[in-house]
Amino acid sequence: MTKKSVVQRSDLGACRRWVVKIGSALLTDNGRGLDRAAINGWVEQIAWLRAQGVEVVLVSSGAVAEGMCRLGWKTRPHAVHELQAAAAVGQMGLVQTWESLFQQHQLQTAQILVTHDDLSNRKRYLNSRSTLLTLLSFGIIPVVNENDTVVTDEIRFGDNDTLGALVANLVEADLLVILTDQLGMFDKDPREYADARLLEMGHAGDPALMEMASGKSGSLGRGGMATKVRAARLAARSGAPTLIVGGKQPDVIRRAFQGDSLGTLLLADLAPLTARKQWLAGHLQMRGTVQLDEGAVRALREKGVSLLPVGVSGVTGDYSRGEMVLCVGPDGERVARGLTNYSAEETRKILRASTDSITARLGYVYEPELMHRDNMVIFPG
């Protein structure tokens, strides 16, 4: 997928992969059960997006709020087991609603439940990423939510804004859209100040944004505008801009795609691939080394291709799938570093192997590449 930096609203139509997060207050009409009419409106717009060739991952809040409604609870409980029970009850209705409405547009959906622990563990991170990208390649719309039925305070995301940003990082989205009950981000809380001014555009890394953010949240959701700013900063790490916009506005998703001036667009400071490469270059500790032959060294440096097992002659260290590994040439010179798709033990079994023979040697295949070019940083020769 070709990445393009978003620098203005007219660029949003060129974004080919969106993560759309919808909050509890919107989905449940402030606690009065799932708002099926409103959900149907977003489904129609997402179906329209799909018809434009845009891949969509949906991050849906609302399980706990729907469960509370079904159980007749008026206030959000504090006990973890009661929250988990509400989530378990509400998740049934939430998923059924998304599935049935998308089916009317001949679109398939898939439920993805994750915890923070899933995305902080490198192996499960890669597994989650592979699953989501595979679903997108099949034209399926993943519906992602936090696994509230098993999560504890120690490993929870805290809010689905954060989850949306981490999913945007995970799938290397071109855009994160946060649909909220506010029109966008204001320079001060519009619920308290009549002269509050809507911010149309800014940079996610601007420290002044956090000072402006209210940080207040409703009785149903856990997020406020401050969490949306933090989410925008997280999404910017992989180069994705964030649009914070009022979800109840007519045709909000279509109009955003068409470049209308809606909500607050927070830009990333770096282009997507540049941001990812910078993160790879400076933020992960190397866990092992693979030795490359001359052909592989030339291919990486001159052609910028992915690293295949056929070009690897040796392995040093004991690392897991998804960890950072150093690539060295026959003379020991540092050539590259990157995230490996196979553990050290697996790599030893597929040394010098062609892509077609990986399955025969391992009994399975994760990816055809040992390291994908988007997950590598090449050192100058």
Q: Tell me the per-residue pLDDT of 300-355, one tens digit each, with 9 for 90 and over.
A: 999 989 999 999 999 999 998 988 899 999 999 999 998 899 999 999 999 999 99
Residue type, 261: S
Give CA separation, 130 vs 167, 244, 247, in Å: 12, 27, 30
Contacts of 76 (CB under 8 A, 6+ apart): 64, 68, 83, 219, 220
Tokens of 214: 């209210």
pLDDT recorded at residue 278: 60
pLDDT recorded at residue 218: 44
Q: 284-378, what's its fold?
A: 2.30.130
- Residue intervals of the chain classified under CATH 3.40.1160.10 are 9-271
pLDDT recorded at residue 282: 56
Q: How far is CA 25 from the centre of its chain?
A: 21
- Residue intervals of the chain classified under CATH 2.30.130.10 are 284-378
Q: Tell me the per-residue pLDDT of 239-268, one tens digit each, with 9 for 90 and over.
A: 899 999 999 999 999 999 999 999 999 998
pLDDT under 50: residue ranges of the chain: 1-2, 154-157, 215-223
How many other C-beta atoms are found inside a 10 Å radius of the C-beta of residue 354?
12
Could you tell me the pTM of the whole model? 0.77
Instruction: Annotate the chain with three-state secondary structure.
Output: CCCCCCCCHHHHHHCCEEEEEECHHHHCCCCCCCCHHHHHHHHHHHHHHHHCCCEEEEEECCHHHHHHHHHCCCCCCCCHHHHHHHHHHHHHHHHHHHHHHHHCCCCCEEEEEECHHHHHCHHHHHHHHHHHHHHHHCCCEEEEEECCCCCCCCCCCCCHHHHHHHHHHHHCCCEEEEEECCCCCECCCCCCCCCCCECCEEECCCHHHHHHCCCCCCCCCCCCHHHHHHHHHHHHCCCCCEEEEECCCCCHHHHHHCCCCCCEEEECCCCHHHHHHHHHHHCCCEEEEEEECHHHHHHHHHHCCCECHHHEEEEECCCCCCCEEEEECCCCCEEEEEECCCCHHHHHHCCCCCHHHHHHHHCCCCCCCCECHHHEEECCC
pLDDT recorded at residue 154: 38
User: What CATH number is given for 9-271 in this structure?
Assistant: 3.40.1160.10
